[in-house]
Amino acid sequence: MSLLALGLNHRTAPVGVRERVAFAPEQLDTALRDLLDHGGAREAAILSTCNRTELYCGLKEADDRQVAQWLGDYHRLRAADLQPYLYQHTGPCAVRHILRVAAGLDSMVLGEPQILGQVKAAYQTANSAGTLGSLLDRLFQHTFAVAKQVRTDTRIGASPVSVAFAAVGLAKQIFADLPKRTALLIGAGDTTELVVRHLHENGIGRLVVANRTLERAHILASAFSGYAIALDEIPAHLGEADIVIAATASPGLMLTAAQARACLKQRRRRPIFMLDLAVPRDIEPAVAELNDVYLYTVDDLKDIIQENLRSRQAAAAQAEEIIDHQVEHFMGWVRARDSVASIDLLRHRAEAVRDEAVARALRQIERGKNPAEALQMLADALTNKLIHPPCAGLREAAARGDAEMLNLIKSLYRLNDGNSR
């Protein structure tokens, strides 16, 4: 059975194409079974995220065209229209692909950790649907182990490379005890939402969201156990905040130096971390001149992100070396697995020869033949039967001048080790 990884992602297809071949979670169970029934797969798993849709299959036959045809048919797309955006990998290339995906090496943000959770979810869905066989089950288990090794042995995920990650990473450098801290977020757009999410995941103590539209602030804050305030309430709550992050689209200032100065008196000189992600700026630049205020801008984060990206790229090179080794390790298991059928056949034939020889010897003894003579004839018969195939192979290879086959048979029967026994 051959292994196939087929799909498209953010590098090969625009969002307009990706959304047309995405699978909703409630579709996956039915889609997986349909892929086995009509897509030429013996076993299958589907990974579907905003950035990629990928099918991992153990094929009934070596022809992978049926899987691509199924993907188009399932989403009511012509295969010819879909083909330019698809990639497909087989055998060790398929193994390498899933290992790189799970390790974050194929992600839009290099080294991002969320993709591993999505790969695990794809495995669990396929397992629940009953569409995993021994090949894919072993592949996914191997993938999880390798992804963990990459995270442990390299710094692929140690340095943030998005604005939201970098913002929270910088806050953690200044305040190691985030669960004891209060964060005030000014604005409620996409960037703020990501920052809030990362702060929440890192255990921030309290979250306050201020926005021009109070309803929008309430929706965002309530999703992460925070509370919402209007923009004109900022001065009243500023003294509570250890962390202030501003990211609005307003043309004017959200926080002035005078407000910050008053806040510091209220806080009795306890330090405050401020991050201005807005362009134009939300926080008056003069705030940076105040003692006990650590003010950073989006440009400061860009420098951090670029440095971290270089660090991740170096770690990615290490990760690729790990994956190279682990691809070969998995393929070794596949080759050993594929040999099982041949080993079983060889054992079955040997047992048949043995049973025939033993039966003949027993008949001879029953007819009065000396047991010692019958035993000797049994040993001779077994010897002749068992060495006949390699002896015939050696003669034929020698006649053809096939040195490779001669050496293979000699190696298989260990005829080159100088030991006659």
pLDDT at 416 over 80: no
Q: How far apart are CA 268 and CA 384, in angstroms?
A: 98
- What lies within 8 Å, CB to CB, of 216 at 6+ separation is 188
Closest by alpha carbon to 320, among 18, 89, 103, 140? 103
- 29's torsion region: left (phi>0), alpha (psi -120 to 50) or beta? alpha
pLDDT top residue among 334 and 251: 334
pLDDT top residue among 418 and 58: 58
φ/ψ (deg, to 5) at 282: -90, -25
Do β-strands 272-276 and 293-297 pair in parallel, antiparallel, or remain unpaired? parallel
CB burial of residue 80 (10 Å; 0-12, 13-18, 19+):
exposed
pLDDT at 290 over 70: yes
What DSSP string describes 377-419? HHHHHHHHHHHHHHHHHHHHHHHHT-HHHHHHHHHHTTTTSS-
pLDDT at 171 over 60: yes
Rg over alpha carbons for the chain, rounded to the nearest Å, is: 33
- Residues forming the active site: 50
- Taking residues 269-296, what's their average pLDDT? 92
- Taking residues 350-354, what's their average pLDDT? 88
Domains of the chain in start order, with CATH, are 2-153 (3.30.460.30), 163-306 (3.40.50.720), 343-412 (no CATH)
Report the chain's mean pLDDT, rounded to a whole number: 91
pLDDT at 305 over 90: no
Confidence category of residue 36, pLDDT binned at 50, 70, 90: very high
Q: How far apart are CA 37 and CA 41, in angstroms?
A: 8
- Taking residues 188-216, what's their average pLDDT? 93
Cα dihedral sign for 73, 32, 115, 147? negative
Q: What is the pLDDT of residue 417?
A: 65
Least confident piece of the model among 46-60, 133-147, 383-397: 383-397
For 85-121, what is each residue's pLDDT tens digit? 999 999 999 999 999 999 999 987 788 888 999 999 9
Q: Is the separation of the CB atoms in 192 and 348 below 8 Å?
A: no
- Taking residues 365-380, what's their average pLDDT? 90
- Taking residues 362-384, what's their average pLDDT? 90
pLDDT top residue among 349 and 324: 324
Q: What is the pLDDT of residue 411?
A: 86
Q: What is the pLDDT of residue 348?
A: 87
- Among 178-182, 309-313, 356-360, name the most confident range: 178-182
Q: How far apart are CA 246 and CA 259, in angstroms?
A: 14
Q: What is the pLDDT of residue 69?
A: 94
Q: Which amino acid is at 389?
A: P
Q: What is the pLDDT of residue 306?
A: 78
Residue 81 token pair? 């229209």
**Angle at CA of residue 314, ends 309 and 318, nearest 5°:** 135
Confidence category of residue 340, pLDDT binned at 50, 70, 90: confident
Give the number of C-alpha atoms closer than 13 A to the C-alpha of residue 370, restricted to the C-beta side: 4
Do β-strands 41-48 and 52-59 pair in parallel, antiparallel, or remain unpaired? antiparallel
Residue 363 token pair? 């008949």
Confidence category of residue 421, pLDDT binned at 50, 70, 90: low
- Taking residues 186-201, what's their average pLDDT? 91
Residue 55 three-state SS = strand
